[in-house]
Amino acid sequence: MELKAIDKFIMAIKVLKPNVPFVVRGSETTEEAFGKVEWETGVDKIGSAIFTTTCPHSEITWTKVKAEMDKL
């Protein structure tokens, strides 16, 4: 099965930081979509993930994600 854009988007993030937990909603792979990625920062009292859309990982930027996507 050929890789879809969203597959490349997620794989690119994982290349930059393996095992990083995050949530992506929808199938857009633009810079705007990157700004909406939900980065897990912890869990609440019932075990639901807590997120921030401000990327806390300095090694993950849209420029780097785009570059990795282009390699796939």
Partner 1 sequence: MALIKARSRGINLADTFAFSGTVSGVGGGKVNQMIFAETTSSMTQTGTAYADSNLVGSITPSATNSKIFLVITDHVFLHHTNSHDDQGAGFRVKRTIGGSNATLYQNTSPYQGWYESDRNGVSNKHYINTITLHYVDSSHNTTSAITYRHQVACMRGNDNGRVQSANESQRAVMTLMEVLA
> How is residue 21 written in tokens?
């937990």
Binding positions for partner 1, rule: CB under 8 A? 1, 6-7, 10-11, 14, 18-27, 38, 40, 43-44, 46-49, 51
Q: Both tokens of residue 46?
A: 């019932």
The answer to whether residues 29 and 8 touch, using CB atoms and an 8 Å cutoff, is yes
Q: What is the radius of gyration, based on Cα positions, of the chain?
A: 12
Within 10 Å of residue 49's Cβ, how many Cβ atoms? Answer: 14
